[in-house]
Amino acid sequence: MLTEKGGALFGYTDLYGGYDGGQAQYVRVPYADYGPRVVPENLSDEQVLFLTDIFPTGYTGIDWGELQPGQSVAVFGAGPVGIMAVKSAMLRDAGKVILVDTLQYRLDKVAQLTGCHTILWKDGAKDVITEIRDLTEGRGADLCIDAVGFEPSRNVFEKAKAVINFEAGSVKVLEACMSAVRRSGHVSVLGVYPTTYDNFPIGQFFDKGIILRAGQAPAHKYIDMLMNYVADGKVKLDDIITHRLSLSEIAHGYDIFNKKRMTVSRWY
């Protein structure tokens, strides 16, 4: 079967274009004359840094979901994109915003910044889905966002299943989104899924009348509008920054990230 890939992704190997990522020694930027924007002088680099990718991506998930004021949103994944999806939902006057993740410290941080409701994914999707329904009067969320993709945390059984099925990663988060969303609700998929999966829940997709949107976020479509939100003080982005390091400390930065340290102990 002939399959066609989408646009190129930096740092995603030959699977998506073969372009080196931002941490390579040299990076080739296609259409480099199209991307740059003029930043207002009153904004710092850190204030606009996340307009390059994660804020437009998070906002894309909300826009794809056609979120209306007062509606409920469940975001799966408290990484940078998931956090920006939460912030975007609040920009669109969502009624209830729910964030799901497997790491409590992430949930605590985002709850502190945004006041959203959080759910810790511990033993499986069933308890998470039940809690989302309890929080939405039994209906399910109007919009669910998969900000995780094909590489979620998995147990030994789930990893073995993927090997047996010749599959990369898992669709467990997407399956949870489709169970947690209300009938005729929206599911936006921002996490990457680069291959096929045998057990995609097509029956549930059909039965519930789910509106599913997925793909690479069209960041340039939103950057100018979102920059105005930042300039007007309607949203704060740089409050997610936890560490500031020089490029000479990059190895130390990776160590902090790998060990999930919330504070910096510098090497001297």
Q: Are 193 and 174 in contact (CB under 8 A)?
A: yes
Residue percentage of the chain with pLDDT more than 90: 60
Residue 191: how many other CB atoms lie within 10 Å: 25
**Residue 245: what residue type?**
L
pLDDT at 105 over 60: yes
d(CA 147, CA 64): 13
DSSP secondary structure code for residue 153 in this structure? -
- Which pLDDT tens digit goes with each residue over 239-264? 999 888 898 898 898 888 888 776 54
Structural tokens at position 81: 């994109």
**For the chain, which residues make up each domain, given as ranges?**
56-214
Beta bridge partners of 118: 99
pLDDT at 267 over 50: no
d(CA 63, CA 59): 6
Which of 7-21, 90-104, 197-211 is least confident?
A: 7-21
pLDDT band, residue 266 (cuts 50/70/90): very low
CATH of domain 56-214: 3.40.50.720
Which pTM does this prediction carry? 0.89
